[in-house]
Amino acid sequence: MKIAIAQLNPTIGDFANNIQKIAVAANQAAENGVDLLLTPELSLCGYPPRDLLLNPNFVLESAVQLQRLTEQLPSQLAVLVGVVTTNANASAHGQKPLFNSLALFKNHKFDIVYHKQLLPSYDVFDENRYFESGARSEVVTLQTSRGQFRIGLSICEDLWNDERFWGKRHYGVNPLADLEKLGVDLVVNLSASPYSVGKQKLRERLLQHSAQRHQLPLIYANQIGGNDDLIFDGGSIAINAKGEVVCRAQSFAADFVTVEFDPTQNDLLPGRIVPLPATEAEEIWLALVLGLQDYVRKCGFEKVVLGLSGGIDSALVAAITAAALEPAKVLAVLMPSPYTRESSLTDAGQLVKNLGIHSQKLPILPAMEAYEQILEPVFAGAEPGIAEENIQARIRGNLLMAIANKFGHLVISTGNKSEMSVGYSTLYGDMSGGLAAIADLPKTKVYEVCRWLNRNGEIIPKAFSIKPPAPN
């Protein structure tokens, strides 16, 4: 049996776009003689839909689009799609109104074949708010030209409850253990697992452990893409019953991979294995680029604007935006005050040249003098201090927002996690913006990623990494 994974990047609520992605992958699968195509968790509507699920029209539209999708898929190909379905027993039994489900499409028809059992409600997850847990594990029998196969079904968290791996159970049931008892040939998992540093290695250790423990091959299809505050890193994998990775899709990119299940060996055969990012810094860079790229694209922006100060934070953000978008779509604004070092302007100019982005210089001395004149009756007799320093940042924030409003750009703010967490930033100043690109990156990691970026040649000039932080 030949199985394909469509590692997709859905847009939440954009059913037409998501259906097109599924249909393109399905046609590719049919052309490659695939028997079963896997797509990510809630691939029809995108994950996580959050409070859109409280809108009856969204749920109704999801049901309508289920029917539409049947017309888009090749008839003989079996396709598993993650979908939202209604819970008919919700009113009578006081249950949640929806399920997080799997639909199996074939011959221009579909069946709802499984409801997710383990619903995470920790960290970034809140699935118990919307969904009812599925009552049991499910198996589908797939008849192909290569034979008949029993396939165990699971969704994301269903595979994350192995008490031997974690040292304890987080839920009362272990769906994978139940599938082993039902006698399946292999287990598939449709997932939307958010990224954090090192998450892929943890996933693979868990799945390798589970495959070995239950002597079952596992195929794991993960979503990729940025959805607001979450990034999904892909890295879909297939693991044989020995616990060996036999196939791996790209990280942080859409992909399509195939893997063969050999009934004579009752196991998966080796396929294409894409290497993981070589270093943590590379992994972080790829995540930041993908997150910014998708935020801009999915929110409908064409261009971005940021303040370039001569400091390392804004330098890294400029590099991220140039990689995520076309450099011509990035405007870096230099806003020197009388206190700005000339070297900062020189360094910023060199960075702009290295990245190929646009720049604009807007000196802020006239605005500072206007503020001083207006505030003179109130500030008379007081020593200059933090108020004047913060006015500089707020002038810059206003200029960036004015440019964004005038031309429909998105302001990218440049503060890092260390500075944000201790308040080394200015409200209505350098905190202004629509997306804080490195707000979850500690200062030490900023330097680490910059060093990685310069590994083959100087992109961010060395001067950025040796100058101390400054308030202006």
Could you tell me the maximum CA-CA distance found in the chain, to the nearest angstrom?
90
Instruction: Work out the burial of residue 280: count CB atoms within 10 Å of its CB; fewer than 13 is exposed, 13-18 middle, 19 or more buried.
Output: middle
Cα distances (Å, whole numbers) of residue 276 to 40, 156, 250, 324: 20, 20, 8, 20
Specify whether 116 is catalytic.
Answer: yes
Q: Which of 2, 21, 106, 116 is catalytic?
A: 116
- What values do phi and psi take at 362, rounded to 5? -130, 90
**C-beta neighbour count of 399 within 10 angstroms:** 19
Q: Coil, strand, or helix at residue 412?
A: strand
Q: Which of 45, 106, 127, 156 is catalytic?
A: 156
356 φ/ψ sector (left φ>0, alpha ψ -120 to 50, else beta): left
Quote the CA–CA distance of 201 and 197 in Å, as a whole number. 9
Specify whether 157 is catalytic.
Answer: no
Give me the helix-helix angle, 312-324 and 443-453, nearest 10°. 50
Specify whether 156 is catalytic.
Answer: yes
Q: Coil, strand, or helix at residue 98?
A: strand
What are the residues whose beta carbons fall under 8 Å from the beta carbon of 94, sequence distance 6 or more? none
Are the C-beta atoms of 432 and 409 separated by less than 8 Å? Answer: no
Q: Which residues are catalytic?
A: 41, 116, 156
